[in-house]
Structure 1
Amino acid sequence: MLRRLSKNSKPYYPDEMSNKYSAVQNPDFSGQIIVESTEDDINKLEIYKLKEKLKARDPESTLSEMEDMAFLSDLGLTKYDAGNLKLTIAGLLFVGKEQAIHRLLPQAEVIYLHYSQSNLEEYDARLDMTAPIISVIDRLSEKIQDANRIVNVQVGLFRLEIVDFSERVFQEALLNALAHRDYQNQAAVYVKHYQDKIVIENPGGFPEGITEHNIITHPSVPRNKLIAETLQRLKYVQRTGQGVDIIFRDMVSSGKPYPEYRAYNDAVSLSIYSAIYDVEFVKFVAREQNLRQRNFSLSELMILRYLTDNRRISLATATDLIQGTRDMAQKSLNDMSRDGLIEVSGKEYMLTARTYEAVKSTVEYTKDRSIQYIKAKEMIMEYIEGNGSITNEKTRELCGFTKQQARSALDKMRGESLIQLVGAGRSSKYMKSSETR
């Protein structure tokens, strides 16, 4: 079949149909009761672990003080069916015994594969887990952290320790995979651990409307609502859907490559990389945030990162980059201009001299400024050739300059004896210098 997408049509495959219609008929698969489950399938140790972790994460929470069965019921992890206590899908995945998960929901499996640097095709270690979500998170986090290397970055009197894979980034990425995977799909979640990257693959494509190009700002569409809500109430996430923000922010501020999402019809993969992309950028962000006593927004970090690599950015490019609206991009650009981080350069934005000096070099700033002047000079001379003269106002319109930038360019051209000022006040204009005629 074909499915309408804007003005065009695209193939609509059976696996996509089944996922969509299943989601419509069963709005929250994780909230369904498992009829075959019994109270014996509950692991009391997992309940204890959840409560202890909640106490550490939120000491003021009264949820952890509840009696075990009331605790599970309040979270929606257990429900009564015909007078008998049953686990929901989410309940099984948070407090079920491993044997019970294997028996009742065997596809809820996470497979960890480790690859050596010398052989990227065949794994040298494997771990298969059919265990509660938090136990999986803890066990794999420990494995990742044990293998982490540390890079020390000196920032003034302070020293930053940047690890290959931030524990917070890895946990957010894995939590997202476990919370949003399609549990009706029989495939497992894979965590592939290479020296330079971790790839997390989970069954189930992106929910309707979400793509790699809007995943940062698109409102959360949880495939498993009860799992997402439980993670939120247990304080593993601050709010539903925030994990992608955290992953991007930590990766960018650590000078690492952007997280890489890839979507398939029935799966999503996320790659996070270990390499530090730009140490000077890391130092700059740390210094500025400490000086201002605030953290940059993700949009500001992404724009700054782009400018360190590309010199200039337009409003349209910034809008696409931050995956937001034009107004959101404009606000970020205005805030950064006000803070002296960037400045207007024609119809684009560039780093200020101070920022250039911090993240790149004054030589590059001077070079960029020189290129801007050369382009403006060519346009101004070409306009005068065709029209006889040019005004400050026309220069601003032609080159996208502010009034002061136009004045500076025109004065510099006068200093080079290319043009001369004729008249004064509003009637003033610039003509070709008699020396160049």
Structure 2
Amino acid sequence: MINNSQYIPAAESLTVEFKSDRKRLPDDELVQALVCLANTEGGELWLGVEDDATPTGLHAAHMNLTGLPGLVAARTSPALQVTVEAIEVDGANGSVRVARILVPKATHSEIATMSGQYLHRRIKQDGTPECVAMLPHERTSRSSRIGIFDASAQVVTGATVADFDPIERERLRQAVQHYGGDRVLLELDDEQLDAALGFTARAASGERLPTLTGLLVIGRETAIRDLVPTHELAFQVLEQEYVRFNEFRRFPLLKALEWLETNFRPYNPEREIQVGLFRVPVPMVDLGAFREAVANGLVHRDYHRLGAVHVRLNDDGLTISNPGGLVDGVTIGNLLSTEPRPRNPRLADVMKRIGVVERSGRGVDKIYRGMLRFGRPQPDYNRTDYNNVILRLETVEADEVFLRLVVEQENQSGSLPVDSLIVLSALKGQKRMNAEELAGLVQQDVAVAKRTIESLVETGLVEAHGKTRGRTYTLSVAMYQAKGDKAAYTRQAGFSKLQNEQMVLNYVKQHQRIQRAEVIELCHLTKDQAAQLLRKLADSGEIALCGKGRGAYYQLADRG
């Protein structure tokens, strides 16, 4: 029997649902709850568990669960395939049987009940989930999120080519020249340009009508306001309790980016530092990273949801947010390594061809580079949720010494890859790390991360300590010398083996015992290195092992 406190989730969430079965849960209600989970993020439904996570058991009619997957498949369209597991858990009056129903996320289309209901889950204001009807625009929004529908390529109802603005066409051509976009576009007339960029699509009548991409890029402001009411850009500057700037605009995208950059510049002071023969600008926020982050917000936002793309500058940093969470398959943990998955493929392609965003689709790399190159913290996406992507860039002072070292290296061998900058930044902050830890930061497997790290060792920016599995890394002595902190290098490079042994023995004499975790902290070693050190001292008769498992410790050996 399983202790339910270790198995049943503590509370309901977007992916967890509890259903009481004391009075036999009706089949229709069960199917509706499963459809809700499938049309959101998938998850698990616990049948026989109350809303407060108390297990009360299955009704007698549900004790035989073998037919439940078939019932669910028969009452859903397309058929929902669930997995059912019977579990004995602790109840209030002894053991009870409950059912854990695993629900996969619907990835090819929305799931409906056989009565035609499309349902999904959402979080209420009090933080608890609820199952509600999925409205038509929400179905379309979800299809865009999972990559089976491109809203930006669809004709906008009520729009005509007269809603295109000649001034915005000219702005587009100037942008291609300014950003180094696809110069073939400059050779096309208006009609050819519309066709090449997908600004129009042929309707059933044979007439070419504006797509969402066309209106967003070269549409008249009045047409965008009337026909795309979800599009809005907000720029706010807050200084303590004072509002320095707070304006909302519904400009077409290229004009919106120009307007935003023009208004942002006065709040983005810049100075210069001398690096060899070159003067290097040091802005508060790197403009390349700023432009990429804002463009990403406008390009990848969910245009089925109300809400502005917010750009907010305050005393702590710059925050850029857009409606619509990360698309299916993209997580905070794979932003740097996953293949590009735009929510609005047509719009994303147009902005790449114009040159506004990174043409490789690796705009996140550009944002990371714009922060790390200056020795600032990496971009923070941790506040991102199901409904919004939220990016925070800290506006702390640049680390000039770090920047000089990066620029000098770039002058010798070209730009440092983003992975290399992440490694250098991590070692600057965490001081000493192993390949596994650094691999997690660069979001690559250990073998790929090791190649990056060892290349930095070869350039003299990083120094390796130890061999094979116990190998760790610090910034090189040259890096610490450049920063004027030679003592820090000695602390991080570690002590000699004899010094480590002596520290462990002294610790045991003072505290009577020592555990491996204490050795790791005391000597700044990895788990393997600490275990090897303790084993050596034990083999030499200096200390003796007492106990087993997690509670094991070492004490001075009895030499009598």
Q: Normalization by structure 1: what TM-score?
A: 0.80
Provide the rounded CA distance (Å) in 1 between the counterparts of 2:350 and 2:269: 33
Aligned pair count? 391
Aligned to 1:62, the other structure's residue is in SS state: helix
Match in the other structure for 1:313: 433
1:362 alignment counterpart: 486
| Cα displacement (A) at 1:248 | 0.2
1:8-27, aligned counterparts within 5 Å? 12-13=121-122, 18=138, 19-21=141-143, 23=145, 27=149
Q: 1:160 to 1:240 in 2, by over 3 A?
A: closer
1:30-49 equivalence runs, <5 A: 30-49=152-171
Is the contact between residue 289 and residue 295 of structure 1 (CA under 8 Å) also seen in structure 2? yes
Q: Partners of 1:202 and 1:20 in 2: how far apart?
A: 16
Q: Against the structure 1 CA distance between its residues 80 and 399, is the aligned structure 2 distance closer, same or farther, given a 3 Å change threshold?
A: closer
459, 467, 483: which is aligned to 1:339?
459
Q: Report how far residue 44 of structure 1 moved.
A: 0.8
Counterpart amino acid of residue 229 in structure 2:
P
Residue-by-residue CA offset, 1:11-55 (whole Å, 9 max, x unaligned): 953699744346469610000011311121010110111112213
Distance 1:370-1:248 versus aligned 2 partners, 3 A rule = closer
Cα 1:141–1:213 shift into 2, 3 Å: same
Alignment of 1:53-202 (within 5 A): 53-58=175-180, 61-81=183-203, 82-115=205-238, 117-119=239-241, 123-202=243-322
Indicate whether 1:276 and 2:407 are aligned.
no
Quote how far apart the aligned CAs of 1:4 are.
4.7
Instruction: Give yes or no for contact 2:431–2:492 (8 Å, CA) kept in 1.
Output: yes
Question: Deviation at 1:62?
Answer: 2.2
Q: CA 1:124/1:365 → structure 2, altered by over 3 Å: closer, same or farther?
A: closer
Per-residue CA deviations over 1:322-345 (Å, capped at 9, x if unaligned) read 112222211111211222222221
Conservation of the 8 A alpha-carbon contact between 2:182 and 2:354: no
State the shift of 1:241 in Å. 2.8
Instruction: Report the more deviating stretch, 240-249 or 9-18.
Output: 9-18
1:263 equivalent in structure 2: 384
Read off the aligned partner of 2:311 and give its amino acid letter: V
Matches within 5 A, 1:233-252: 233-252=353-372
C-alpha distance in 2 between matches for 1:307 and 1:12: 42
Separation of aligned partners in 1, 2:429 and 2:232: 41
2:369 match: secondary structure:
helix
Q: 1:50 aligns to what SS in structure 2? A: helix
Partners of 1:204 and 1:244 in 2: CA distance: 17
Once the 2 structures are TM-superposed, how far is the Cα of residue 146 of structure 1 from its aligned partner?
2.3
**One-letter code aligned to 1:75:** L
Q: Which amino acid aligns with 1:110?
A: L
Change (3 A) 1:110 1:56: closer
- What RMSD in Å do the two structures reach over aligned CA positions? 3.4
Q: CA deviation at 1:228?
A: 0.4
SS at match of 1:86: strand
Unpaired runs of 5+ residues, structure 2, are 1-35, 45-99, 106-119, 123-130, 507-526, 537-541, 543-560
TM-superposed CA distance for 1:130, in Å, is 0.8
- Give 3-state SS (helix, strand or coil) of 2:183's partner: coil
Give, in whole Å, the separation in 2 of the partners of 1:360 and 1:284.
13
Q: Give the secondary structure class of the aligned counterpart of 1:366.
A: helix
Is the CA contact (8 Å cut-off) linking 1:255 and 1:278 kept in structure 2? yes
In structure 1, the residue matched to 2:110 is: none
Distance (whole Å) between structure 2 residues aligned to residue 332 and residue 240 of structure 1 = 21
After superposition, the C-alpha distances for 1:396-426 in whole angstroms (9 at most, x for unaligned) are: x9749xxxxx9xxx9xxxxxxxx9xxxxxxx
Q: 1:349 Cα shift? A: 1.2
Deviation at 1:225, TM superposition (A): 0.4
Q: Which has the higher contact order (CA 8 A, sep 6+)?
A: 1
Q: Deviations over 1:162-218 (max 9, x none)?
A: 111222111100110011100000122111122542211110011112222221222
Q: CA deviation at 1:380?
A: 10
Tell me the distance in 2 between the aligned counterparts of 1:351 and 1:16.
55
1:305 Cα shift? 1.2
Q: Secondary structure at the residue paired with 1:170?
A: helix
Is contact 2:150-2:343 (8 Å) kept?
A: yes
**123-132 or 370-379: which moved more?**
370-379
Is the contact made by 1:92 and 1:101 (CA closer than 8 Å) also made in structure 2?
yes
* Structure 1 residue 360, shift from structure 2 partner: 5.2
In structure 2, what is the Cα distance between the partners aligned to 1:40 and 1:259? 41
CA contact (8 A) 1:280 1:360 kept: no
Amino acid at match of 1:148: N
Q: Distance in 2 between matches of 1:165 and 1:153?
A: 16
Contact 2:269 2:283 in 1 (8 A): yes
Larger mean Cα displacement after TM superposition, 196-205 or 237-246: 237-246
Of all paired residues, the percent bearing the same amino acid is 26
| C-alpha contact 2:182 2:355 (8 A) present in aligned 1 | no
**1:123-170: CA deviation from partner (whole Å, max 9, x where unpaired):** 343222111111000100111112221233333443322111222111
Query: What amino acid maps onto 1:278 in structure 2?
Result: D
Corresponding residue for residue 326 of structure 1: 446
SS at match of 2:272: strand
Match of 2:473 in 1: 349
With over 3 angstroms needed to count, the CA separation of the structure-2 counterparts of 1:264 and 1:23, relative to structure 1, is closer
Q: 2:217 and 2:459 mapped to 1: Cα distance? A: 46
Counterparts in 2 of 1:249 and 1:316: CA distance versus 1, 3 Å: same
Which residue is equivalent to 1:423?
none
Q: Is the 8 A contact 1:145 1:165 kept in 2?
A: no
Counterpart AA for 1:289 = E
Structure 1's 195 and 79: CA in aligned 2 closer, same or farther, altered over 3 A?
A: same
Aligned to 2:417: 297
Higher helix share: 1
The AA in structure 1 aligned to 2:452 is: S
Inter-CA distance 369–251: structure 2 relative to 1 (3 Å threshold):
closer
Give me the TM-score of the superposition, normalised by structure 2: 0.64
8 Å CA contact 1:16–1:266 kept in 2: the answer is no
Residue of structure 2 equivalent to 1:425: none
Q: 1:363 Cα shift? A: 1.9
| 1:146 partner SS | helix
Q: Tell me how far apart the structure 2 counterparts of residues 369 and 48 of structure 1 sit (CA, whole Å).
A: 59
Contact 1:197–1:274 under 8 Å retained in 2: yes
